[in-house]
Structures are given as C-alpha cells and as structure tokens.
A = this chain, B = another copy of it.
Amino acid sequence: MRGGGAVRGSVVLLSGGMDSATCLALAARRDPPVHALTVHYGQRHARELAAARALARRFEVASHAVVRLPIGPLLGSALTDRTRALPRGRRRTSIPPTYVPARNTLLLALALGVAETRRLRAIYLGVNQVDYSGYPDCRPPFLAAFDRLSRVATRVGVEEGWAPRVRAPLLRLSKAEIVRLGGTLGVPWELTWSCYEGGRRPCGLCDACRLRAKGFDEAGVPDPALSR
C-alpha cells in the first residue's frame, strides 16, 4: 500500500471483448493512467486472453496484469464447465446458463484491491444491462451496493474518506450504440474477441457471436474481426 499521494487513474477489467475494449478506450480518455486487469477464471479457451494482451499494448496501458484464478471447478456455469452445453439462440426466460455465480463480485474485489494499492479513483467494468439483463451482477443495484461496500472495506475508505468508484459506462447502451461509441473512440475491433468458443475464427452461432453481429448490423458497420 502506497500511503498518501494523489488519487488518479483507473483500473480496467479487460476481458478482450468489444465491451471491455470500449471501456479501455473511455478510461484512457477520461481517467489516465490506465492499469488493465485481465482475469482468466476458467473460461473454456485462452483466445480472449490474446485479445486482451493486444488491446493493452495498443492502448499503451501503464500496466497489464493477467491473473489466473483457478475457480472454474468451484462455480457451476456453462462458461467454465466443459460438460455443459453453451446456449445457442434459445430464447431466454431467465438468467442464462453462462451466469457464473458471484463473478463480477470477484472481479470487482480484485480490481478494488489493485485500485486501493495504486490509489486509483475508478474501476471500469464493461457490463451491459440491455444485452445481459439476465445477469444480476450486471444491474445498477449491484453496482451501487459494491460502491457502498468499497467505502467500508478499504483502508482508504475508512481512514481517508475516499474509495475507488465503479464506472460502468456501457450499462444502458445497446450493442449498436457500443459499436458507434467505440467507433468514435477508435476502438480496434479487429483485436477484440467475443465468441464463447475458442477457434481461429468466431463460431457465429453462440449467443456472444449473435449479439455482436446484431450490434454491428444495427450500427451499419462491418465487423473487421470477420474479415481476417
């Protein structure tokens, strides 16, 4: 813990997808210097790790930590359990099976520790209420509760009266709006990866691929990741 000193900069939870890439671009503009934090928590493939690394390099972040949390076997989710089918276009009536119990709580806890250690004022998280409204930890009550927690969970909150704040700038945007925003910020879409599968090219069938395609379609922008 570095005592005293200015409170500035941010940590960005960078998965390698289009949402976190857009967050990275926003943080670089609004809250520099930016520290990127990528957490591999047992997803099926490492393809998006490579995307996160490429994005961090492109945005010349102050630091990029890649943390492997071997928690997949502990938490029941189709995203971390290879024996379960991934959703493909089925209509959701409830929270999708890709929900990972307490995932964003865990990611934000880690980011909070980094932000307190480095005295960063903001934690950027690319959650999105429109496309993933099923996930409880992508909703405003969750984000507000985490900010309240941060103020009593940290030394700086208790002794200095400030705590890193969660920023979720994409919360109320559609995928098409994210494509347009990212365009104005110069997000290099060709470096991002969205597909739940880990092949050389996106599968085009999983929910993540479908959402991405819908976003680019509605924004009237070609997806450069598909023309590689």
Binding site for B on A (CB under 8 A): 1-2, 37, 65, 67-71, 73-77, 94-95, 97, 99-106, 108-110, 112-114, 116-117, 136-137, 139, 141-142, 145-146, 148-149, 152-155, 157-159
Judge whether B137 and A71 touch: CB under 8 Å: no
Judge whether B105 and A149 touch: CB under 8 Å: yes
Candidates B1, B97, B159; contact of A76 at CB < 8 Å: B1
Report how far A149 CA is from B153 CA in the complex, Å.
Answer: 12
Q: Which residue of B lies closest to A164 (CB)?
A: B102
A145-B148, A146-B149 known; 16 other A-B pairs, CB under 8 Å? Answer: A1-B101, A74-B117, A95-B155, A95-B158, A100-B113, A101-B154, A102-B113, A104-B153, A105-B109, A108-B109, A136-B153, A137-B153, A145-B153, A146-B153, A148-B148, A149-B149
Candidates B37, B74, B145, B148; contact of A67 at CB < 8 Å: B74
Of A68, A104, A112, most B-chain CB atoms within 10 Å: A112
Report how far A150 CA is from B141 CA in the complex, Å.
Answer: 11
Judge whether A117 and B76 touch: CB under 8 Å: yes
Judge whether B142 and A153 touch: CB under 8 Å: yes
What B residues does A152 contact at CB under 8 A?
136, 139, 141-142, 145
Candidates B74, B97, B106, B114; contact of A65 at CB < 8 Å: B74
Judge whether B101 and A116 touch: CB under 8 Å: yes
